[in-house]
Each structure stands twice: as C-alpha cells, then as structure tokens.
Structure 1
C-alpha cells in the first residue's frame, strides 16, 4: 500500500435516483471517488454521503480505502477500488482528426472525460460517446470557425485514445459574469452573440442541445462564447447525454433546433429576470450595483435571486442519467503542462493533500495535484470551475 502522500483525488460525484427526468429527484444512492495512486487511476464506490471534495485530503481518502469490504467485488458499494482501464474509459482517436500540438499548451484548457460513472457499464459507454461527439462537432466547426464558439486546438492522444481536448482558455461563465460588480455587462450583446453561435451551428445542420448559463463563457473582452459540444449532433440524430434538466425540453430524445430554441428562450428570460432584479436592488451602477444602462447591468449578488432556482438546476450534473461534472474551460495548463500534454511521462502528485475533483453538486473544482501515467495532465491551481 502506498503512502497517503502518493495519492491525489481526481473527482467525487454523488449519485441519486432519477425521478422522471430529474437526475437528483430521488434518494441518495452512493458516492463515487476517482483518484490517483501509484501512477494509475482508481474508481471507488462508497456510501459515505457526506464526503465533500473541498474537505477530502489524501490521508482521509487513504483511510476510506483502508476501510473497504475486501470480500466485495472491486468497484462495488463499499468494496475495494477498481483500477480504471484506459481502453474502457476513453474513445479511440479517429483517423483524420486533429492531434493537439503540445507547443500550444499555454493559455489553453485540457478538458478530460468524466470518469465518475466508470463503475456502471452504460454510464461509462455514454461518457466515451460524449467525448467522441464533442470531438466530431469541434472538428466540423474548425473548418469554418465562429467568433463566439470556443476555439478548439485538437485532441490529446495517448496510445491511440482520446484522453482529452485542448480548448481555448476561458475564465468565467455567464452566471459568474453577471455577479461581477466591477463593470457593466451588456445583456443584449451577450444574447446576440449566443444566438449568432447557434445560428452558425444550424447553418451546418447541427444542434447544440444543451444551451444554459453554465455552457456560456465570457472572454476578457466580454464576448460571450458558446461551449460544451458533447450533446451537439446533426439534426434528427438520437441524443445521448442531451440537455440539462430544467433547461428546455426535458423529454427530448432527438437532436433538434427546437431544443436550442426552447433553451435559448429560457436563457433570455432568466438573464433578463436577473437584470430586472438588479434594477430593483441598488439603482444606478455607480451606487453599488444595478442597472448601468439599457440592456446593461452591474449585478450585485441579490441580482441573481430571481434565477436562483434556475441556477440550482444549472449545477445539476447531467450525463447519461448518471452524473457528470460541468464542463471546464479554465485557466491555462501552465508551463509544467506543456511537457505533460504529450502524455508520455509519469507525474507524481505535487502535494499529498492537494485535491482535484468536483463539488457535491457535481461541478468540477480543481487544485494543484498533478496526475500521471499518461491519462491526465497537470494543471495550474486555478482552473475554472
């Protein structure tokens, strides 16, 4: 058994029963923990509902693993950890796709597949499919790039498998931008930019199928950017992951422009509700937040009250009716990542207590731990949620 200092948490995901189309509508089922030890990834399923990623140290993880039921099957509830097989976790790299250039490892985000559902065969298969879907959509889009669609730098490939995607660095999603009190936010401009991105997809006969605040990022120049294409399919194809619960047609099974239209209408309504709340909470922008001008806000925290329910649904992690961390487009891979993005060397955890993973609501929260064996890459401590 390795020492706790050799371990690093990758993610923690809480699984609940589905009720209708609500992925968190029923009883708690289990908590999945994915972690690094001895240079490999492991999957552990536990009944410890109160495990919180922000509090879980490597030493505490080690204690959880020591307490498993060794008579149970690997990966079973409270059983020993299951070593993750890359061939099952990651899709094959198709001929003709773009291989990411490790020279562009600065100012990019390394997006990894979700492994929280690895212990379930169906969930694992859909997670792989999501990577393939996103890569295919981004390959199609790079032929004719669009200003308000995230920039794609290619697939990160190891042993013929897509272990991640290199994407444009983006620091803030739409909800976070609306909470930024320091500068006005042009709502009409934002909506026009996202509508333009959706129209560009539609012109290619593709549909995004998962429009929501969490899938809109904002560049430093305040340009809104559409992200997260793992539900993006040609019109008429059967959906895999589909939309986030509460954002449009929860019963949708087919990729369609109607899915985008419904979600975009909800987006406009919810964002404008926040604008209205801002106007009632602070008055002029110069007085501590509020409406700065027509279609523009400097939003105090209270401005989001009108969309609290929507925001709660937005953080529900939806993949294959299992669980999935919200997609990340955060700060750069960092200088250390430039060498590792080739995924050929073993990188030990930088800090025994540094953790990398997801919040209990399913969204990613990353820190300093580096991963290795070629199926992950070290990141900076400040990758965006």
Structure 2
C-alpha cells in the first residue's frame, strides 16, 4: 500500500551526484504496511535519474519530494531501458511536435515488484498496449475522448505517448471548489464511455483524476493503460473487462458530484 507523487514536467534536481552526474528524483511513493495489526509507514520508494540511466531505490527516512537525499537510498536497482521503452512498430504514428503537447511516460515506482514477477517487461508491454489502443482511437475520434497525437520516438523505441494538453482534471476542479456545469460534465463522460463501448472497448479505470475539463466544462476522458477489449483480461485480481465497470464508476462519480449531504457510494473503502 503506498501513496505516490510524480511530476514528469518538473524534475527535482539534487546537489548530489554519482561520478559527477546530476541526480534527479522522478517519482516517490510512501509505503504503508501492517505492523502488529496497524498500518504504519515503513519506507519510501523512489525512482531517480543519474545521467541517462534510471534507478529504483528505497528510503528509510520520511521526506518530501524536494528533500529526498538520494545518497541515503538502499536497494538500488538499475532499470533497463527495455523494461519500460518498447520498440515502436512501423505502423505507429510519430508525433510531429511533442514539445507542444502533454507527453505521458510510464510510471516506474512499482519496478521492484515487476522485477520479482514472472514478466520483468510488463511495463513496456503496457506502454505498447496503450499505444495500440490510442492508434485505434485516432481512427475513431470523439469529442469526449483525449486526442492522441502519436508516439514520442527516440532510437526506434517509444519514450512517451503524446496527447493534446488540457487545462485541468475534474478532481482538481472539484478540490478548488470552482463552479461547473455538473450535468454537462456527467453527460459528456457518459457519451465518451458509450463511444468506447460501441468500439468494444472498456476504460476500466474511470475516476475524477482520469477526466480532464476544458474551459467550457467539456469533459475529456484520458489514460487508456487499463483499456481493454470486452473479453476476459487479467490483473492482480483476475478481473473481467465489462462495460458495467465503466457504468458503475460513472455512477460513483455522479454520486460524488451530487449535492447530497450523505453520499451513498456503491463501493466501500
């Protein structure tokens, strides 16, 4: 169980270095584990960059992202490029100007678990899967589905997926307490997922952080790394990809956005 932070656009430089190379923290995630029947903080996982290489490590001391001292990290592991950057098939679209868009890069904070699994390349495979989904959606666009501009490619491998940049997430808008056209937001989200379902796709991870809002409150569904065809698919819990997954999640969001004093959520924490 962990709480993560990640800022791909504002990498945090530190004063330390490895053999003269500047190190930058890319991701951090606090770990909470059950100790004597109580969940307690047991450490912080980090991903950092040194030169052209990425590393995974663990911290014992609890620190904010900007205060992490990389030299105190233990269990340091080099993350091979092939573990998170798949070869780009020739049929994929290369983005023409990735500097003017949002570039989604894979999260690597779980690499320790990936490395100990039966498939150490599952992150790269997930990137490839999302790219394939986005290539398909490029042929079937919808005003409530994020516009993919193609892949960011370096040395024949995929380094990121490029999307049109949108102002803010639904989660942030609600947290800021800003007014919005709730019925328009919910209807747009439903229109987007119905479009996916007509294409025999299920999003499988619909939540307020995966919905962006335009300035006129038009919702845009993002993040397709869990999107699958409507047949059995497997994750840690051996779940099934069904349209009801998205419709149930939409119901939760509708309740979350309601003005009811007492929220009646379907899924309990």
How would you bin the TM-score normalised by the shorter chain? Answer: 0.7 to 0.9
| Counterpart for residue 14 of structure 1 | 30
Structure number having the greater strand percentage: 2
Task: Using the TM superposition, give the Cα deviation of residue 144 of structure 1 relative to its aligned residue in structure 2, in angstroms.
Answer: 1.4
Q: How many correspondences in the alignment?
A: 245
**Deviation larger for 207-216 or 151-160:** 151-160
Correspondence 1:159 to 2:155: yes
Partner SS, residue 7 of structure 1: strand
- Runs of 5+ consecutive residues of structure 1 not aligned to the other structure: 19-24, 66-77, 242-250, 278-305, 314-385
Match of 1:237 among 232, 235, 241: 232
Question: Is 1:154–1:165's contact at 8 Å kept on the other side of the alignment?
Answer: yes
Q: CA deviation at 1:29?
A: 5.0
Within the candidate set 37, 51, 55, 2:67 is matched to 55
Q: Relative contact order: is structure 1 or structure 2 higher (C-alpha 8 Å, sep ≥ 6)?
A: 1
Question: Runs of 5+ in structure 2 lacking a partner?
Answer: 1-16
1:227 aligns to 2:230 (yes or no):
no
* Contact kept in structure 2, 1:252 and 1:259, CA below 8 Å: no
Residue of structure 1 in register with 2:192 after alignment: 197
Matched position secondary structure for 1:166: strand
Q: Residue 104 and residue 32 in structure 1: after superposition, are their counterparts in 2 closer, same or farther (change >3 A)? A: closer
TM superposition shift of 1:6: 1.8
What TM-score results when the alignment is normalised by the length of structure 2?
A: 0.80
Secondary structure at 1:222's aligned position in 2?
Answer: coil
Alpha-carbon distance in 1 for matches of 2:93, 2:235: 23
Per-residue deviation at 1:54? 4.0
Equivalent residue for 2:239?
253
Pick closer, same or farther for the CA change 1:4–1:266 going to 2, 3 Å: farther
**1:132 corresponds to:** 128
Gap change, CA 1:148 and 1:118, over 3 Å in 2: same
Partner deviation per Cα, 1:271-314 (whole Å, 9 max, x = no partner): 11xx345xxxxxxxxxxxxxxxxxxxxxxxxxxxx67x99xx7x
In structure 1, what is the equivalent of residue 14 of structure 2? none
CA deviation map 1:203-249 (0-9, x unaligned): 000000111111111112221111111110000131437xxxxxxxx
